[in-house]
Structure 1
Amino acid sequence: MQAILDHLTNTIVEAGTEKQRLYIQGGGSKDFYGNPQALHHPKLDLTPYHGILDYEPSELVITARAGTRMQDLEKTLHDQGQMLAFEPPCFNTAATLGGCVAAGLSGPRRAYAGAVRDYVLGVKLLDGKGSVLSFGGRVMKNVAGYDVSRLMVGAMGTLGVLLEISLKVLPRPAAEQTLGFQVTMDKAMAIMRQCTGSPLPVSATCFVDEHLYIRLSGAESAIRAAQSKLGGEWVGDDTSFWNAIRHHTHPFFTMKNMLWRLSVKATTPPLSLPGTQMIEWGGALRWVAMDEHDCHPAGIRDLASSAGGHATLFYGDKSAAPVFHPLPPALLTLHRRLKDQFDPAGILNPQRMYTEF
């Protein structure tokens, strides 16, 4: 692997010297995500730099290279009765660990178990000057000063090329079952609030197609007690349902040509928007699928802001609006300073997050 690392380093050094911008790519499963300008630059392929470096199940920590396929990493964990609790979406079988962390996306369990950044213990990366930098470590108490390793989560490769990542993992639940309810959106929101305010073993919620689904995880006795309190009917083949929500293979995600992802306060009432909605994370995540002629980005983002959140154009015609919610001037300045420190020549995934740099 040293020859591959040398190649990656030399490519970045040469690109910096020649002011040649690069597009960092793993399996390509998230090429659709983010502003598309970076896609036009020469690719820096991370897939050859793969493999699990260290995994001791009793320590609940795994370390792997960025090009490691997610399906290989998760199979290794599954064989030991463990999992990535934040359930990252993998939009195809080529998805890699580096892409998972760089995108910073979490799945159905996020609101109840934590987000990607909550499980990142340490990273090794190449900055825009070709220097190998290490932050954090492989244990929970090995972070001092600024937690730069978690800064890389969701940075979309704009601050550095991830090489190695150490993640905290968790045991798989003893049992899991899903309750289904045929209800209106208002009623679904009320039940979600009931779940939030009660000590119930809820690990995922989703309202779609006039049905509310609540996944319960833990001891079988706790699951049965929760069902007695909430009501509903047991859902068969619930694993397939949650996998479809997690990996976006559910028909909802392909029913329209524009998909918006709104992160808002969980207590926000149903949003008055055209199209079709899906609600996750106890009300905090709203997916809105709509046709192009119904899409008014400024209005969508104003509505998200008024609900204490932000809106991302997940996929669709990205010429209509920036993908990510515009930042206030102070935060944009902070982002620019970070970019200048880690990538002074501006060669790593330029404009992938914000069109200003």
Structure 2
Amino acid sequence: MDSALAQIADRVRAAAADQTPLRIRGGGTKDFHGLALRGEVLDTRALCGIVSYEPSELVVTARAGTPLAALESLLADKGQCLPFEPPHFGQGATVGGMVAAGLSGPARASVGAVRDYVLGVEMLNGRAERLRFGGQVMKNVAGYDVPRLMAGAWGTLGLITEVSLKVLPVPPGEATLRFDDCNQADALRKLHAWGGQPLPLNASCWVHDGTGAGTLTVRLRGAVAAVEAACKTLGGTRLDNAAAAPDWTACREQTLPWFAARASGHALWRLSLPATAPVLSLPGLAPPLVEWHGALRWVQAPASAGKLLREAAAAVGGSATVFRAASADGISAGAVFDLKSPALEQIHARIKRSFDPAGIFNPGRVAEGW
């Protein structure tokens, strides 16, 4: 065990003995999300560096504090990428934070989520024990799939020290198509119809900018021949790839004008729905920004609209949570995990106690009592 990891393990061991809460933190770019942040900061950035990278095997292993931008740059040099496009939300995002948050970008509906690319993790549990799960191949799981369990757990189960990821080659063909004067219902109909066809549909974004009906933008990725054929089939206005790339990045990072125009007192709500869900009736609220071919809808609304949003989402089999609070110093209302089943709550509680018996890791990060 190297000195940086040994020091962190000593810190965890002492915290467990004293029952001192620890707040695991890498770059801190996602501190805005979730409930109130509590505990002494445990900085992971000393755990930095690429452990191994085998481009021919499509596998990379990196330490948790490695800057996400550095990993993406390394992959790009070999013509490879993290296809799920993890958002950074600021300078300093880390590989461990990417896995712990489990957030994916515009391509998620087409290529899968972060958890689908996590092959193995090394971690410290609440007893400061160094554990390793999974490996560097897909079929390497028995019992709990702990590597995937860590994705989206927000550090409540343990401190990720190292992660192995599956990567993919950058697709050879790409095109972005824009459809103007397209309202939300028409956009959803198009996306639902295209989803049932063998098209290289990679990402989509519908937004109403306050004028006209709205604009649907889709990105195609895959074999060059498949992309070119899809462009002829779908129509629309084809955009220059170099010009469109910053907009897709802005969509991923939530820096599009639609996000920047959020009114004071309005939170950013995340509605996770079945992709086939229709337009939701949300009286008094501005139209959402729609991603993931209809499965992800961002809504700007005050906390008082929470009941309306949750009921509307639940009616179509989805959920609604606050992603960004109304003010910079506020906290996101409601738990990140929406556990409606008492049995499921008990399972989560048992897993938490198994990994972190003293409850020192990120207490209250995703729900009261967690």
Count of equivalent residues: 353
2:321·2:333 contact (CA, 8 Å) conserved in 1?
no
User: Are residues 1:335 and 2:344 paired?
Assistant: no
Counterpart in 2 of 1:159? 157
Counterparts of 1:103-122 in structure 2 under 5 Å? 103-122=101-120
The one-letter amino acid paired with 1:83 is C
1:223-252 Cα distance to aligned partner (Å, 9 max, x none)? 221112111001231111111111112122
Identity %: 48
CA contact (8 A) 2:35 2:331 kept: no
Q: Which moved more, 1:320-329 or 1:264-273?
A: 320-329
Q: Which residue of 1 aligns with 2:211?
A: none
Q: More deviation in 139-148 or 327-336? A: 139-148
Which secondary structure state, in structure 2, belongs to the residue aligned with residue 43 of structure 1?
Answer: strand
The one-letter code of the counterpart of 2:222 is: G
Q: Which amino acid aligns with 1:75?
A: S
Using the TM superposition, give the Cα deviation of residue 324 of structure 1 relative to its aligned residue in structure 2, in angstroms.
Answer: 2.2
Q: TM-score, normalised by structure 2?
A: 0.92
Return the match for 2:249 from 220, 243, 251.
Answer: 243
Residue 196 (1) aligns with residue 195 (2) = yes
1:312 to partner: Cα distance: 1.8
Kindly provide the CA deviation profile for residues 232-278 of structure 1, in whole angstroms up to 9, marking residues without a partner as x. Answer: 00123111111111111212223223101111111111112213411
Match of 1:275 among 278, 281, 286: 286
- What's the counterpart of residue 205 of structure 2? 206
| CA distance in structure 1 between the partners assigned to 2:331 and 2:72 by the alignment | 36
- Letter of the structure 1 residue corresponding to residue 253 of structure 2: H
- List alignment gaps of at least 5 residues for structure 1: none
Check conservation: 2:204, 2:217, Cα contact below 8 A. Answer: yes
Letter in 1 for 2:190: I
Return the offset for 1:335.
1.1
CA displacement, residues 100-147 of structure 1 (integer Å, 9 cap, x when unaligned): 000000111111111111000000000011111100001222222321
Q: Is the Cα contact below 8 Å between 2:286 and 2:300 reproduced in 1?
A: yes
- Partners in 1 of 2:192 and 2:122 — Cα distance? 40
**Structure 2 residues not aligned, in runs of 5+:** 209-213
Tell me how large the CA RMSD over aligned residues is: 1.4
Q: Secondary structure at the match of 1:87?
A: coil
What does the per-residue CA deviation read over 1:268-314, in whole Å, with 9 as the maximum and x for residues that have no partner? Answer: 11112213411111111111112x27x42122112211111111210
Give the TM-score normalised by the residue count of structure 1: 0.96
What is residue 321 of structure 1 aligned with on the other side? 333
1:13-28 equivalences in 2 (<5 Å):
13-28=13-28
Q: Is the 8 A contact 1:322 1:355 kept in 2?
A: no
SS of structure 1 residue aligned to 2:288 = strand
What's the offset of the Cα at 1:319?
6.0
Amino acid paired to 1:324: V
Q: Who is 1:253 aligned against?
A: 259
Compute the displacement of 1:14 (Å): 0.5
